[in-house]
């Protein structure tokens, strides 16, 4: 996805809104890829490594990833309400909400990578 150029006539709110959507679309795209990748890793753990525990751990990651994707799509719908803010308290609510979503994204990706590393280590074993 191409980053959007900003112009002098863009308001702060327009810029913030656009940046939030860019962030969120990037995170959603990455989580969609994680879904695909994790499905392949489940098949590897099951058919090539014959490791039921690892397969179950990966399936749990698939479920967590799906839940997070749903949460992110719901959040995407709520971003539009940011435009209705007319005070700092409202702005801070949406800023903090975006930070919370980002924190969940980073934690999930880090947790997923730990499980994925187990697959690679098992393959190399």
pLDDT at 110: 98
In 1-125, alpha helices (H): 12-43, 52-78, 88-124
| CA Rg value for the chain | 18
pLDDT at 16: 82
96 vs 11 pLDDT, higher one: 96
pLDDT exceeds cutoff 60 at 1: no
Q: Is 3 helix (H, G, I), strand (E, B) or coil?
A: coil
pLDDT at 33: 98
Burial class (CB in 10 A: 0-12, 13-18, 19+), 36: exposed
pLDDT at 11: 78
pLDDT, one tens digit per residue, over 64-112 is 999 999 999 999 988 877 777 788 888 888 889 999 999 999 999 999 9
pLDDT at 49: 96
> Rounded to two decimals, what is the model's pTM?
0.88
CATH of 21-124, one of 3.40.1130, 1.10.443, 3.90.1570, 1.20.58: 1.20.58
Provide the b/e sequence for 39-53 (b: ≥16 CB within 10 Å).
Answer: eebbebbbeebebee
pLDDT at 30: 98
pLDDT, one tens digit per residue, over 36-72 is 999 999 999 999 999 999 999 999 999 999 999 999 9
């Amino acid at each position: 996805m191409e980053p959007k150029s900003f112009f002098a006539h863009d308001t702060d709110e327009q810029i913030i809104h656009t940046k939030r959507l860019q962030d969120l679309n990037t995170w959603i795209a990455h989580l969609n890829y994680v879904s695909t990748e994790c499905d392949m890793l489940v098949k590897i753990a099951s058919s090539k490594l014959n490791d039921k525990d690892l397969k179950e751990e990966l399936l749990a990651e698939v479920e967590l990833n799906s839940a997070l994707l749903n949460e992110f799509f719901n959040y995407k719908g709520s971003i539009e309400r940011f435009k209705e803010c007319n005070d700092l308290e409202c702005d801070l609510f949406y800023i903090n909400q975006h930070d919370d979503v980002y924190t969940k994204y980073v934690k999930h990706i880090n947790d997923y990578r730990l499980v994925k590393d187990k697959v690679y280590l098992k393959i190399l074993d």
